[in-house]
Amino acid sequence: MAKDYTELAQDIVTHVGGKDNIVKLVHCVTRLRFTLKDESKADDEYLKQRDGIVTVVKAGGQYQVVIGNHVPDVYAAVTEVAGITGGGGIDVDEGDVSQGNLFDRFIALVSGLFQPMLGALSAAGMIKGLVAVMAAVGVPETDGAYVILNAAGDGFFQFLPLILALTAAKRFKMEQFTALAIGFALVYPNIAASFSAETPLYTLFKGTFIESPIYATFFGLPIIFPASSYLQTVLPIIVAVWIGSKIEGFFKKIIPDVVKVFVVPFFTILITVPLSFLVIGPVMSWASDLVGVIFTGIYGFSPVVYGLVLGAMWQVLVMFGLHWGLVPLAILELQKGPGVILVATVAICFAQAGSLLNIMFRTKEDKVKQLSIPAFISALFGVTEPAIYGITLPMRLPFIMTCVSGALTGAYLAFFDVHMQVMGGLGLFAIPSFIEPDNAMTLIHFLIAIVANFVIGFILTQFVKIPYLYGGPAAEAGASDANASVQKAAPLKEIKQEILSSPLTGQVVNLADVPDEVFASGAMGEGIAVEPTIGEVLAPVKAEITLVFPSKHAIGMRTENGAELLIHVGMDTVSLDGKGFESFVAVGDQVKAGQKLLSFDIETIKAAGLPVTAPVIVTNSDAFTDILTTQERDVVAGDYLLTAVK
């Protein structure tokens, strides 16, 4: 029966300053890693002396409570006590959106905002596909069933900013209903009509690509409202809620508690909503206009290059809402006859479908399989949001592969000068838009592009690794933490003397000299460390794998004679989130001495400014009378390293 860590968790939460003092919580192999608002509120001495806690470490901006091998269970209890959930106000993801380059941080942020809604998003996408089928078989748009089902599917996407307001509020620690108020203002019915008229009051930046007719002002300040409105958009509401969270935080500090409940939302909404219309609107409009100018210039230079670049960039443009710089141009073009502006983009949804099919076959996560099915169906009908935001974008490389596919097919369609006849449906229902009288080749080339996108998306995804999105098998089996894959091993044999060879090649380092006080103090157990010169970890003895951390920087095992070992490559390398690491075994595997367990790139670790020193620890050292270590200064993998004496 699993041990109950509720009491320990309550003590930890209380003595780190309470749940309101917790900004972020993750865990690695041995410790809880808190980011606290105020570390001075934490009671270091109490926590260090508390049974069940090894020690406390403050490093890298984190307040680390060292637990030991039971950290996943304690983590689960702490998240329960503190009310922390994957979609809650405290970010519990191992990956931190503050790390990595700007694009990686954007992907992590947007993916996190979409994760809580993926089930409903996929369902709405499928309903949109069903409505498209109804339209294709001749059901009129005025039919009651069509109207209701269209509202059920399309309504989710039309008012997506409102759902994002909720998830963004959780991410940015903002009051949810205040964030919703901002979202409601952006999608307020008929607001676009209020900012349009036959004759503008005046025109800003006349004669430039950001020429902006002004139809209304806000106390004299020009309102530049995007022609596409804020319905179905992603970025404007995210930026608005982020700005609102800063404003809300400021007023929370200065408004007296007795009136804070309504005065803080009042000032937050009063300031944020006008800023959203006066600042976010112009920025988004001008950025879209710039996109239109750039791509028009590329097309003038070379239609094939235009198809290549647009096919590659289209999905990214949609993510940022910048595609509106091309959509109005395409509509105007099609009003005059067949057009080419959006031809390169129409079949890209099939690259997402092909990539998803590959992921469905290869993923080991049931949840990803389940989400992939409706996302796949939606993608066939041109609705790619569930696929992009739910699966391929968080996985990074599959998304990039679909962009590559889009580039190739975009160039192909441009090379053969394929024209779209009308602005029709999406996905499979876009096919009629390419039926040209007296020219069957237009349709043939488009069908080739559909098949090519599907096949290329599938094949290219075959060449990339399919990462875990929800913590892997352990999480799906009901494990408490989505960041560790730990399983209990079989009953111990009688403990005997254990002689271990070195799992690494490099310079021997005394445990006391390891640049981490938890390992150096022996709190995790006795052992020795190696400063590796070769990026490989080999099995030191015949054993069963008991732990493989998803970031692949640490591995645990238990030998035939009961010694429990932890090999930890580098210090704080959990922050690399698997970058530079590769695992060759899984929990439950039986390994032989010398078998390759992990590989890692030493230069990647050093480039991140992290020590590469790798401790080899006997975590159940108290089961032995002594741990003897080699006296050599250098070892090669397979050389004698230590002996555990009973």
- 479 neighbors 623 (Cβ within 8 angstroms): no
- pLDDT over 90, % of the chain: 28
Q: Does domain 485-645 have CATH number 3.40.1190.20?
A: no
Encoding tokens for residue 120?
Answer: 């409903």
Each residue of 340-376: pLDDT tens digit? Answer: 888 999 999 999 999 999 999 998 877 788 888 888 9
- pLDDT value of residue 33: 83
Rounded average pLDDT over 529-538: 93
28 a catalytic residue: yes
- pLDDT value of residue 104: 62
- pLDDT value of residue 2: 53
Each residue of 28-41: pLDDT tens digit? Answer: 767 788 888 888 88
| Residue 336 exposed, middle or buried by CB count within 10 Å (0-12, 13-18, 19+) | exposed
- Higher-confidence residue of 315 and 233: namely 315
475: pLDDT strictly greater than 60 = no
- pLDDT over 70, % of the chain: 89
- pLDDT value of residue 496: 52
- pLDDT value of residue 302: 93
603: pLDDT strictly greater than 50 = yes
Give the pLDDT band (50/70/90) at residue 108.
Answer: low
pTM of the predicted protein model: 0.54
**Is residue 420 helix, strand or coil?**
strand
- pLDDT value of residue 459: 96
Least confident of 1-15, 172-186, 468-482, 626-640: 468-482
Q: Which of 8, 26, 28, 616 is catalytic?
A: 28
**Is residue 25 helix, strand or coil?**
strand
According to CATH, the superfamily of the domain at 6-94 is Glucose permease domain IIB (3.30.1360.60)
- Higher-confidence residue of 412 and 40: namely 412
- Higher-confidence residue of 92 and 430: namely 430
Q: Which residues of 20-53 are buried (b: 16+ CB within 10 A; e: fewer)?
A: ebbebbbbbbbbbbbbbeebeebebeebeebebb
Domain ranges of the chain: 6-94, 485-645
- pLDDT value of residue 29: 65
Each residue of 266-278: pLDDT tens digit? Answer: 999 999 999 999 9
Rounded average pLDDT over 5-31: 84
- pLDDT value of residue 269: 96
- Return the C-alpha torsion angle 149, 151, 153, 158, nearest 10: 170
Rounded average pLDDT over 1-30: 82
